[in-house]
Structure 1
Amino acid sequence: MRFLLFCLLLLLPIVGVQAQTPALTWNTDLPQALQQAQATNKPVLAVFSGSDWCKPCIMLKQEVFDQPEFQRYAQDKLVLARFDFPRSKKNKLPAEQTKRNEQAAAQLNKEGSFPLVLLLSPEGKVLAKTGYRPGGPAAYDAYLSQLLTKR
């Protein structure tokens, strides 16, 4: 009985940490993201990535966007939008999503840069362009804050 109680007490902090960091929702439709941004008066963080072929894209997702620290930062400050362009057949997106991603790229990523991270005003004006930056979520959050103060 004591062993069971001990195990439960060990699991409690793990469950608590997970409960404190809710998973963020990434929009996959630019007009919908802009509509949400206007309703909340927050900028949009739009990310163009190649999730299965672009090494810096993969690193940016793993080192920054998937980290609880970034999720806490973004939760109250940003509307998130991701437009992915995988190349592998096993990662192929539905045709409707591919069309939405291509429309967003035609509007915001004509050069075809990957990864491309844009900060947009709620009206859709590009405030800043960036990409992968080393240093993890703390450095990236600080950099985004710096870019947002310039707007």
Structure 2
Amino acid sequence: MKTILSAILMVVFSIGIQAQSRLENAKKQAAENNELILLNFSGSDWCIPCIKLHKNIIETEDFKKLETENVIVYINADFPRNKKNQLSPDLKKENASLADQYNPKGLFPYTLLLSPEGKILKSWEGLPSENVLAFSKEIRDIKDHQKQ
């Protein structure tokens, strides 16, 4: 009986570690490079505002500069519905864990700017009203304010 209980606890513990690996890696990278974390919850194949957010902001060169210039570490927690777009079981668990922690209301799209410690600095419910340049500038301004 102890062996079974130990095995169950090990599995639960290992799932908990796996479930936070992207966030933990992002926290580590953000701390090392003085970056912030941008966490986006999306439904990539069913949520029209999510699709617009990715097309008009996240997939643009101006947004990608935030990553290449060490302003942010980007994490997308996607919840696709179509069978052909399904994620691996591990990634599904990780996204569910991120949603439990940061998006308990299940909003889509929902974007959070986090400190390297995981503290929420800013959130956007739905499609941001700003264009990509204003959105990027707001993130840069928050990062610059964090340095002070």
* Normalised-by-shorter TM-score class: 0.7 to 0.9
Mapped to 2, the partners of 1:73 and 1:118 lie a distance apart of 15
Mapped to 1, the partners of 2:144 and 2:24 lie a distance apart of 24
Misfit runs of 4+, over 6 Å: none
Unaligned runs of 5+ in 2: 1-20
Q: Deviations over 1:8-60 (max 9, x none)?
A: xxxxxxxxxxxxxxxxxxxx821221121122121101111000011111000
Q: Could you say if the C-alpha distance between residues 61 and 120 of structure 1 is closer, same or farther in structure 2, counting changes exceeding 3 Å?
A: same
Maintained 8 Å contact 2:30/2:37: yes
Could you state the TM-score of these two structures normalised by the residue count of structure 2? 0.76
SS of 1:48's equivalent in the other structure is strand
Structure 1 match to 2:85: 91
Mapped to 1, the partners of 2:141 and 2:35 lie a distance apart of 15
Maintained 8 Å contact 2:35/2:143: no
Mapped to 2, the partners of 1:41 and 1:145 lie a distance apart of 12
Mapped to 2, the partners of 1:99 and 1:45 lie a distance apart of 19
Q: Could you say if the C-alpha distance between residues 35 and 83 of structure 1 is closer, same or farther in structure 2, counting changes exceeding 3 Å?
A: same
SS of 2:29's equivalent in the other structure is helix
Query: What is the total number of aligned residue pairs between the two structures?
Result: 124
Q: CA RMSD in A?
A: 1.7
The counterpart of 1:67, out of the listed 43, 60, 63, is: 60
Could you state the TM-score of these two structures normalised by the residue count of structure 1? 0.75
Max radius of gyration: which structure? 1
AA paired with 1:145? Answer: R
Q: Does 1:115 align with 2:77?
A: no
The counterpart of 2:50, out of the listed 49, 54, 57, is: 57
AA paired with 2:138? Answer: Y
Unaligned runs of 5+ in 1: 1-27
